[in-house]
Chains A and B, each alone.
Chain A
Amino acid sequence: MSKADGIYPDDLKYTREHEWLAVQGGVGTIGLTHYAQSELGDIVYVDMPAVGAPVVAGEDFGTVESVKAVSEIFAPASGEVLEINGALATSPETINKDPYGEGWLVKVKLADPKEVAGLMSASEYRKYIEEESN
């Protein structure tokens, strides 16, 4: 089974750095894709920004760690952090188990909703990771 067979919900947008973005009203929810958590392995720690901190599209705003690797988390869109998923402090493995649901990372007040158009759709993302794996 290739990585592209993993779940990539159609109603989300995706980045080349393997984050997903869900938009509702002016608020974006950001998380890591199935591919990302699978590549990282068992996640042991997530380093997140503070509420109120700014995030800039394309720039890293935190890190996620497994036992043997660290990865930066890049913002799909710019804005201000409204909420962080506090449960990840005690249960970082939620990202592995439920990357699109309980494993969400941050909620952001989007500065420019037009930025979202530049992200990949689920099918574009599936194609992208298919190419990446080869």
Chain B
Amino acid sequence: MEPRSLKAAERLLFEISRPGRRGFALPALDVPPAEPPARHLRDDLEGFPELSEVDVVRHYTRLSRLNYAIDLGLYPLGSCTMKYNPKINEKTARLEGLADAHPHLPPAAAQGCLGLMHDLEQALAALCGMDRFTLQPAAGAQGELVGILMARAFHVDRGKARQVVLIPDSAHGTNPASAHIAGYRVEQVPSNEAGRVDLAALRERMTEEVAVLMLTNPNTLGVFESDIEEIARIVHAKGGLLYMDGANLNAFVGIARPGDMGVDVHHLNLHKTFSTPHGGGGPGAGPVGVRKDLVPYLPVPTVEKEGERYVLRHEAPKSIGRVRSFYGNFGMMVRAWTYILALGQEGLRRNAETAVLNANYIRHHLAGTYDLPYDAPSLHEVVFSDRRQQEAGVHTLDIAKRLMDYGFHPPTIYFPLIVKGALMIEPTESEPREELDLFIAAMRAIDEEARRDPALVRTAPHTTPVRRLDEVAAARQPVLRWTPVS
């Protein structure tokens, strides 16, 4: 009998399932039984698993152990801000009265929820220098869409929707995707050799057909757009709006405010700067802040304070409408509010300072080992390339995979697109120096391995629950669900 190993493959629910097993019981039915008419009635839930509680708990507990997580160590994904998720947030989000508040409660019975939303909105507005925020978007990408739709409504209200959204070539993929869904054509603005927006190129492309310039600041190279006020002037001179993607706000929250830089529309990710957990791919929340001129276009409903009461206002004639049901990812708002209370303005500021210090610490100690394509100062993230290691036939992908053998999640790879073989590293303020030193040592070791034993790196990882998977075959012959063997 083969002994069980911690890395034994976990079977699927459907493979563990056994007829007759039950994981659940309800109280006996206390009313007369009734059934829908036969034409509506289902025969059976074919294929649905039959498992006991024990089976379910063991299955998912074992699955969880196959994952890396922030609570295990550094997760240096650039632009993702994988910071520590405070446990008190999980407690407050689950409090009775909040977690079990039905969205259709009469507003008079939901004053606690509405008050929290109102106060969160105000805090975000104060921190970012914007006049109001919508908390409705479920994630950053949905926030972008809301931002662009509001910009569109602004322009339509003034006579012309305009046709184009300008986006830097270093931007995240959601930017052009969101612009496209909002009905705009996308045009790129190149970056200069310092990795920032090329002002001359911007002046050339900024016409009265351009509705919005979407900017990430600091940009995806971790570089602050120090010309941002001039950029805002160029855009405003032609009647356009400046949208700021706040994915990288952790670099300067509490130190500077986008509203002071001339930003008209500002999106945030609560699951980045404000510590709400990433959940293996969500839920997140993407609030969007606006300057006064754009307030009429905010999605409905908004939370308003009337005297001492909080109300939901559904009527707003110029609103862009709704982008989702109900009011937003309230559970994430509770966590973000909890976090803001725990930190305050000074705490958030110190986060930014430490995040930037940590990134620069890594930059300094790896600059001799990995190629730095742009020497502009980095804020909270640093981008290296694999140019030096490529000479030995080792690429960014291999370096990333080998890092797993050292017990780290890899950084973001192959993004931003303007750097070939990009390795984007964002440590965040949550990392103690010892963890950074371990990471630096690992990266140096991999560089050394690349020269001494490149095959070891090229075939990594070696110690993970599964090794490199054939993504090509998976895409050519997609198997997207379990099917019973007949």
Residues of A in contact with B (beta carbons under 8 Å apart)? 42, 44-45, 65-68, 92-93
Query: Which residues of chain B have C-beta atoms less than 8 A from A65's C-beta?
Result: 475
In the bound assembly, the distance between CA atoms of A65 and B475 in angstroms comes to: 10
Interface extent on B, as a size class? under 10
Please report whether the interface of chain B is mostly helix, strand, loop or mixed according to DSSP: helix
Q: Mark B451-482, 1 if CB is under 8 A from A, else 0.
A: 00000000000000000000110011000000
Query: Which residues of chain A have C-beta atoms less than 8 A from B475's C-beta?
Result: 44-45, 65, 67
Q: Are A68 and B414 in touch, CB under 8 angstroms? A: yes
Query: Which residues of chain A have C-beta atoms less than 8 A from B476's C-beta?
Result: 44-45, 92-93
In the bound assembly, the distance between CA atoms of A42 and B472 in angstroms comes to: 7
In the bound assembly, the distance between CA atoms of A44 and B472 in angstroms comes to: 6
In the bound assembly, the distance between CA atoms of A65 and B471 in angstroms comes to: 13
Q: List 14 A-B contacts (CB under 8 A).
A: A42-B472, A44-B472, A44-B475, A44-B476, A45-B475, A45-B476, A65-B475, A66-B472, A67-B471, A67-B472, A67-B475, A68-B414, A92-B476, A93-B476
In the bound assembly, the distance between CA atoms of A45 and B471 in angstroms comes to: 13
Chain B residues 418-472 with CB under 8 Å of chain A are: 471-472
Q: What residue of chain A has the Cβ atom nearest to residue B472's Cβ? A: A42
In the bound assembly, the distance between CA atoms of A93 and B476 in angstroms comes to: 9
12 new A-B pairs (CB below 8 Å) besides A44-B472, A68-B414? A42-B472, A44-B475, A44-B476, A45-B475, A45-B476, A65-B475, A66-B472, A67-B471, A67-B472, A67-B475, A92-B476, A93-B476
In the bound assembly, the distance between CA atoms of A92 and B475 in angstroms comes to: 11
In the bound assembly, the distance between CA atoms of A84 and B471 in angstroms comes to: 26
Q: What residue of chain B has the Cβ atom nearest to residue A93's Cβ? A: B476
Pick the most buried of A44, A65, A66, A68: most chain B CB atoms within 10 A of its CB: A44
In the bound assembly, the distance between CA atoms of A66 and B475 in angstroms comes to: 8
Q: Mark B108-142, 1 if CB is under 8 A from A, else 0.
A: 00000000000000000000000000000000000
Q: 10 closest A-B pairs (Cβ-Cβ)?
A: A44-B475, A42-B472, A44-B476, A67-B471, A67-B475, A67-B472, A44-B472, A92-B476, A45-B475, A93-B476
Q: What residue of chain A has the Cβ atom nearest to residue B471's Cβ? A: A67
Query: Which residues of chain B have C-beta atoms less than 8 A from A45's C-beta?
Result: 475-476
In the bound assembly, the distance between CA atoms of A35 and B21 in angstroms comes to: 57
In the bound assembly, the distance between CA atoms of A92 and B472 in angstroms comes to: 11
In the bound assembly, the distance between CA atoms of A68 and B396 in angstroms comes to: 14
In the bound assembly, the distance between CA atoms of A66 and B476 in angstroms comes to: 9
Query: Which residues of chain A have C-beta atoms less than 8 A from B414's C-beta?
Result: 68
Query: Which residues of chain B have C-beta atoms less than 8 A from A68's C-beta?
Result: 414
In the bound assembly, the distance between CA atoms of A67 and B475 in angstroms comes to: 7
Cβ distance A68 to chain B, nearest Cβ, rounded Å = 7
Query: Which residues of chain B have C-beta atoms less than 8 A from A67's C-beta?
Result: 471-472, 475
Cβ distance A37 to chain B, nearest Cβ, rounded Å = 13
In the bound assembly, the distance between CA atoms of A42 and B471 in angstroms comes to: 10
Cβ distance B413 to chain A, nearest Cβ, rounded Å = 10
In the bound assembly, the distance between CA atoms of A45 and B474 in angstroms comes to: 11
Q: What residue of chain A has the Cβ atom nearest to residue B476's Cβ? A: A44
Cβ distance B335 to chain A, nearest Cβ, rounded Å = 33
Cβ distance B448 to chain A, nearest Cβ, rounded Å = 27
Q: What residue of chain B has the Cβ atom nearest to residue A41's Cβ? A: B472
